[in-house]
Structure 1
Amino acid sequence: MSQMIHNQTQATRELRKPWRRGRLAAVAGLVAAMAATGLGQAGPASAARAAEPYLPMPTGSRPVGTTSLYLKDTSRPDPWVPSVKARELMVSLWYPARSPGRHRAQYMTPTESELLLKNGGVTNIPADTLSKVRTNAFTDARPAGGAHSLPLIVLSPGHSKPRSELTALAEELASRGYVVAAIDHTYENVAQTFPDGRVTTCVTCDMKKDPTVWEKLEKGRAADVSFVLDELTGAHPKWKDARLINTSKIAMSGQSVGGASTLAAMAADPRLRAGIDVDGTVTAPLPVAGLSRPFLLLGKPATYTPGQPGTGANWESVWAGLHGWKRWLLVTGAAHTSFTDHGVLMDQLGIEDGADIPGARAMTITRRYVAAFFDQHLRKKPQPLLNKPSANYPEVKFCAPEKKTCA
């Protein structure tokens, strides 16, 4: 869920972020748009436009392919627009490919970029700016892998954000041999394009965010996830290469409300064998019996430090209901956007997001720990990285809620 970012003076920012010293904002209007849509805060004015933004290369051994699916659940109306009698979803799939394809995948469409910028009241920069982010996956590249050989990871983005914000993580997991399905939860993001050209916008963004709305979001996303799993692993899968998926090895991760929704999805669907909440405050209650499947809490200290006044309480309640393997990890210097593509892209564009850690470093950490978690719990490959603090990643603190400590 959206977190408040406290303002700092530019002098303080420069002292705390030496890697950004002297960096200028790429486009003042883009900065304002990002700030207005919760993506960042404006930095100093730009003297020259930054180079075309790009996502970091994945580190796995395989090239990455990607494709998109349009799915329609006729068993239920849309939860936010009841006049729409079927829930429609767009899903992006990433997977290991046999070889790179000819066409590098587009990050988002020009229309989606335009609507995101207009949502911030920006009209003085190219409307397609955000559609030009360079990705590392190739559209419809031929998949690699044998039948039922690839674990499946479902990803859910933050509220008001498109599924594209999790592309760098998805590319990383796919390069390591996972199929990844990122869901756009319709009417819960600023702009979403369907194959027939329709573009839906964010109905929930204008709602008063009381606990009942957040709980409805989480439970609604859980229903979306179960439907997507049906469409990918059922008798008549909607992806032509669905035979590659190992249906006994399915898990989920999400950021912000997408992370909170991971718990609701796991409670509702036993096919999800493990899950990760990335910086998401949980509203929907766990089952009375709790959850006994592996779970990782990964977030920022400002909101989730146990024993620190005003923080930690939400996750402490969740922690008490987790009865299987579990970890509570905090990344020093992280902001809410640090765990998504936005941290990387905002650094490249000179946009402040309140983080005290470079976006590229935060993404490296996010990728490494998320991949380690899934390797251990879906592939049964022990990961010492998850057992104790690492000298390679000193920013990551292991929390012991019972002792109210993180080290």
Structure 2
Amino acid sequence: MWSRVPRPEDGRVTEIIAGLYLSPPEFLALLGAVALVVARWLPPAARSRVTIAAVAVLVASVIVLGVVGVRWQLLPVLAGAAVALPFALAPLLRRRAGRPSWRARWWLALPGSVACVALIATGPVAAWAFPVPVFPEPSGRFAVGTQVVQWTDPRRPESFTADPHDRRTVVVQLWYPARKSPAGARRAQYLGRTQDEARTVSDALARQVGLPGFLVDGVPRARTRSVFDAPVAGGRGRFPLVLFSPGSGGVRTQNTAWAEELASHGYVVAALDHPYDSAAVVLADGRTIRTRTASTGDRDKDDRLAVDWTAVRAADLGFVLTQLDRLDHGEITGPLTGRLDTGRVAVAGHSMGGAAALQAARRDRRFDAVVDLDGYPHGPASPALHQPTLALTQAVTSATDPHYIPRLTEALGHSTATSYRLTLPGAAHLTFMDGPLYLPPVPSVVGSLGRTESPHVVAAATLAFLDATLRHAPGDLAGALSAYGDLTVRSPGAGR
């Protein structure tokens, strides 16, 4: 199956084979390498022609890959071809020199051929396990635009530094309904405004989970489905808002597929980088702020730290909502002035970001709904939540933190509005962000829903909830959510 994605190096559209996650030059290099090994076993009449064609394809592919960049996944393919090349060319060169041709007997050649094929085969396997992510096409009627803004809160000191004059700064990426861009428009870089920023963030995320950065070198090569600074969709309508906080050490772009799907359905999504918490935050002046949050291994101490970090995030969310209100009223210049419906606002987050969303909603009644994407509720369970809440959770297994569900139940129990807990069968913690698009499909890591189904299910359940709570869409919300997993509904005051 073929899928079209933008090539990050030059912005032109290239094609990949979706099942193997190889670009055409990579696929041709793979075919050339295999043909070079197989040629030895062909009849004499075909052997020389296949060898010459394989060498030509390999040379052309290597030249192209040398220009656009060779991924590490292709190194085994090229190594296997390099081993096979002398044995494939030797008979041809001897014949051209008028010397008698010689080939090793089949029982001597077979182990070498098998070894070369095995080496070559590791290339596509590695490309499948660690691909350049292909973002799903949003299903809504709007095209999607995106922009990045940076705001400083003059009234809030930066708690992670000792400088008394340092003020809290956040970087926010907005995804919004846009006009359709011209054919061939350059799609937004994933993980950053530039490829350098994307590499910085990708390397920081890899280090955070103990992976060498080269393993995920396809991630900063990816392009998304949105266009930077695309014109806002026409008309005078205002768009409901969804503010998003990433997981611990996560970054603003970690839920890009989810954000683009929501924006295509008429929402504006504002996702935050939390400096000193996010793995790496590149500021407008080029400085990079690395994370200073880390687990100590002591459960009680880590819980106390998480409460503090969650409080900072909750304050960030409230500040960004204030800035968006100023943007809508023209106090901050921007293309979204007059198009933001700050009377219909949801706050959402993944993991620790989900905990921050719950705390932000408790603090700030401007938030009208809450979406917790598999987030353990840190911090106090009071005051009561007054907003309808959707908690999407992974499948509960023996490996799940035994405190998680009781703590989430307690948090949702302190609510004067209806809350919904939806458990997605086959989901893992990283199912709720972009991880399934570029990490190996190991069920314990990214779940078993697959690279296509994971972002679809999470976004579809979120949209059903937002449409019901912010847009008051008619229909049975509980019935709609039940289609995606196991649903528990808690009505106001139940069990109190």
SS of the aligned residue for 2:286 comes to coil
Q: 1:317: which partner in 2?
A: 410
SS of the aligned residue for 2:410 comes to helix
> How far is the alpha carbon of 1:125 from its aligned partner?
3.0
* Alignment pair present for 1:155 and 2:244: yes
Is contact 2:156-2:168 (8 Å) kept?
A: yes
Q: 1:205: which partner in 2?
A: 294
The count of corresponding residues between Structure 1 and Structure 2 is 359
* Alignment pair present for 1:85 and 2:166: yes
Q: Deviations over 1:187-215 (max 9, x none)?
A: 11211111111111110126565222111
SS of the aligned residue for 1:387 comes to helix
Q: Deviations over 1:233-262 (max 9, x none)?
A: 125135342320011111111110111111
d(CA) in 2 for partners of 1:145, 1:272: 26
Of 115-124 and 244-253, the range deviating more from structure 2: 115-124
Is contact 2:243-2:317 (8 Å) kept?
A: yes
| Residues 6-45 of structure 1: pairs in structure 2 closer than 5 A | none
Letter of the aligned partner of 1:93 in structure 2? L
Instruction: Pick one of 120, 131, 137 that aligns with 2:220.
Output: 131
Q: Please, which runs of 5 or more residues in structure 1 have no aligned partner?
A: 1-20, 29-44, 403-407
Is contact 2:179-2:232 (8 Å) kept?
A: yes
Letter of the aligned partner of 2:150 in structure 1? Y
Instruction: Pick one of 164, 180, 186 that aligns with 1:103.
Output: 186
CA 1:287 to 1:311, structure 2 compared with 1: closer, same or farther past 3 Å? closer
> How far is the alpha carbon of 1:166 from its aligned partner?
0.9
Q: Deviations over 1:285-323 (max 9, x none)?
A: 1334x12221111111327999x9665211111121022
Q: 1:300: which partner in 2?
A: 394
Of 309-318 and 59-68, the range deviating more from structure 2: 309-318
Instruction: Pick one of 263, 282, 305 that aligns with 2:358.
Output: 263
* Alignment pair present for 1:291 and 2:385: yes
| Residues 225-374 of structure 1: pairs in structure 2 closer than 5 A | 225-234=317-326, 235=329, 236-237=331-332, 239-288=334-383, 290-302=384-396, 312-347=405-440, 353=445, 355-374=447-466
Q: 1:76: which partner in 2?
A: 156
Is contact 2:219-2:438 (8 Å) kept?
A: no
Letter of the aligned partner of 1:98 in structure 2? R
Of 117-126 and 225-234, the range deviating more from structure 2: 117-126
Q: Deviations over 1:144-183 (max 9, x none)?
A: 1444611111011100111111101110011001111000
Letter of the aligned partner of 2:187 in structure 1? R
Instruction: Pick one of 130, 145, 157 that aligns with 1:65.
Output: 145
Is contact 2:175-2:270 (8 Å) kept?
A: yes
> What TM-score do you get using the length of structure 1 for normalisation?
0.80
CA 1:122 to 1:376, structure 2 compared with 1: closer, same or farther past 3 Å? closer
Q: 2:59: which partner in 1?
A: none
Q: 1:176: which partner in 2?
A: 265
SS of the aligned residue for 1:80 comes to coil
Is contact 2:418-2:490 (8 Å) kept?
A: no
Query: Which structure exhibits the higher relative contact order, with contacts defined as CA atoms closer than 8 Å and separated by 6 or more residues?
Result: 1
Is contact 1:145-1:244 (8 Å) kept?
A: no
> How far is the alpha carbon of 1:359 from its aligned partner?
3.5
CA 1:130 to 1:141, structure 2 compared with 1: closer, same or farther past 3 Å? same
CA 1:124 to 1:151, structure 2 compared with 1: closer, same or farther past 3 Å? closer
> How far is the alpha carbon of 1:103 from its aligned partner?
2.2
Is contact 1:253-1:262 (8 Å) kept?
A: yes
d(CA) in 2 for partners of 1:351, 1:133: 23
Of 110-119 and 170-179, the range deviating more from structure 2: 110-119
Q: Please, which runs of 5 or more residues in structure 2 have no aligned partner?
A: 1-18, 22-70, 74-120, 192-197, 492-496
Is contact 1:147-1:245 (8 Å) kept?
A: no
CA 1:198 to 1:218, structure 2 compared with 1: closer, same or farther past 3 Å? same
> How far is the alpha carbon of 1:112 from its aligned partner?
1.9
SS of the aligned residue for 2:174 comes to strand
Q: Deviations over 1:251-293 (max 9, x none)?
A: 11111011111111011111110011110111211334x1222
Of 277-286 and 97-106, the range deviating more from structure 2: 97-106
Letter of the aligned partner of 1:232 in structure 2? L
Q: 1:32: which partner in 2?
A: none
d(CA) in 2 for partners of 1:322, 1:196: 43
d(CA) in 2 for partners of 1:124, 1:203: 19
Is contact 1:152-1:249 (8 Å) kept?
A: yes
CA 1:374 to 1:321, structure 2 compared with 1: closer, same or farther past 3 Å? same
d(CA) in 2 for partners of 1:171, 1:353: 23
Structure with the larger helix share: 2
> What TM-score do you get using the length of structure 2 for normalisation?
0.66
Letter of the aligned partner of 2:350 in structure 1? Q
d(CA) in 2 for partners of 1:268, 1:124: 39
SS of the aligned residue for 1:159 comes to coil
Percent identity of equivalent pairs: 32
Structure number with larger C-alpha Rg: 2
d(CA) in 2 for partners of 1:215, 1:200: 22
d(CA) in 1 for partners of 2:269, 2:213: 36
Is contact 2:252-2:272 (8 Å) kept?
A: yes
Q: 1:141: which partner in 2?
A: 230
d(CA) in 1 for partners of 2:363, 2:440: 38
